[in-house]
Amino acid sequence: MKAETVTALQAARLKRHAVVLATRLSDAAETLVYPERAEGVFAGDAALLAAARRAMAIGRSETVELDGQRIFLNVYVPPARLIIVGAVHIAQSLAPMASLMDFDVTVIDPRRAFATDSRFPGVKVMQDWADEAFEKIGLDASTAVVTLTHDPKLDDPALESALKSDVFYVGALGSRKTHGKRRERLTEAGITDEQFARIHGPVGLNIGAKSPAEIAVSILGQIVEVRARRLEALAGPKVVAA
Residue 59 and residue 169 in one domain: no
pLDDT tens by residue, 6-39: 999 998 888 888 899 999 999 999 999 998 889 9
Of 17, 42, 77, which closes a domain? 77
pLDDT tens by residue, 150-169: 999 999 999 999 999 999 99
Question: How many angstroms separate the CA atoms of 75 and 62, rounded?
Answer: 8
Question: How many angstroms separate the CA atoms of 190 and 186, rounded?
Answer: 6
| pTM over cut 0.95 | no
Average pLDDT over the chain reads: 92
pLDDT score at 155: 96
pLDDT tens by residue, 171-197: 999 999 999 999 999 999 999 999 999
Looking up residue 146, the CATH number of its domain turns out to be 3.40.50.720
Report the domain count for the chain: 2
Question: How many angstroms separate the CA atoms of 55 and 237, rounded?
Answer: 11
Question: How many angstroms separate the CA atoms of 32 and 194, rounded?
Answer: 34
Residue 180 and residue 207 in one domain: yes
Q: Is residue 240 scored above 60 in pLDDT?
A: no
Residue 29 inside a domain? The answer is: yes
Of 77, 107, 141, which closes a domain? 77
pLDDT band at residue 115 using 50, 70 and 90 as cut-offs: very high
Question: How many angstroms separate the CA atoms of 60 and 174, rounded?
Answer: 36
How large is the C-alpha radius of gyration of the chain? 20
Residue 219 and residue 108 in one domain: yes
- Exposure string over 59-68, b if 16+ CB within 10 A, otherwise e: beebebebee
Phi, psi of 85 (to 5 degrees): -100, 110
Residue 51 inside a domain? The answer is: yes
Of 47, 77, 107, which closes a domain? 77
pLDDT tens by residue, 82-109: 999 999 999 999 999 999 999 999 999 9
Instruction: Name the percent of the chain lying above pLDDT 70.
Output: 96
Question: How many angstroms separate the CA atoms of 100 and 90, rounded?
Answer: 16
pLDDT band at residue 77 using 50, 70 and 90 as cut-offs: confident
